[in-house]
Amino acid sequence: MKNIMVCVTLQNNCERLINVAAELSMPEDSLFVLHVAKNGQTFMGGINDGASLEYLYSVSQKVGASMTVLHSDNVIEAICLFVREHQISLLILGIPSKDEKDTGFAKALNDQLGESCKLVLIDKQKGVIDSESIFNSNRT
């Protein structure tokens, strides 16, 4: 049994990521969906937050995932704390498309988590990508 978590941001990407998590899981696994908003910001960017949260909850519920929404000034730290507290072994994260700016978020998260949690990156066009091939990580 493993604990699998999906980090979600915008509504239009989250269903795809949550469905990938469900496909990668076994019946005995636990699924978690996490959204972290910065302190002082609205949950989903301010565009109809109530409907967005209800949508996110509904999509999570369909695959049997528990959904959590947090506020934190340090998003990476909040995610890492959640990963440790819930003993997450697999974290699913969308990556920016070629048209979007890569902020280095996935690499920073990967560096913080080390070997305790495997990152699975989801590209809009390519699907599942091995994080090791992207980060060329030589963890010790």
Three-state secondary structure along 56-70?
HHHHHHHCCCEEEEE
- pLDDT, residue 123, reads 79
Distance CA 30, CA 14 (A): 18
| 6-135 homologous superfamily | HUPs (3.40.50.620)
- pLDDT, residue 44, reads 58
The H-assigned helical ranges of the chain are 11-24, 49-62, 75-85, 105-113, 131-135
pTM: 0.84
- pLDDT, residue 1, reads 86
Under a CB-based contact definition with an 8 Å cutoff, are residues 38 and 71 in contact?
A: yes
Q: Which residues of the chain have pLDDT under 50?
A: 133-134, 137-140
- pLDDT, residue 138, reads 39
- pLDDT, residue 54, reads 86
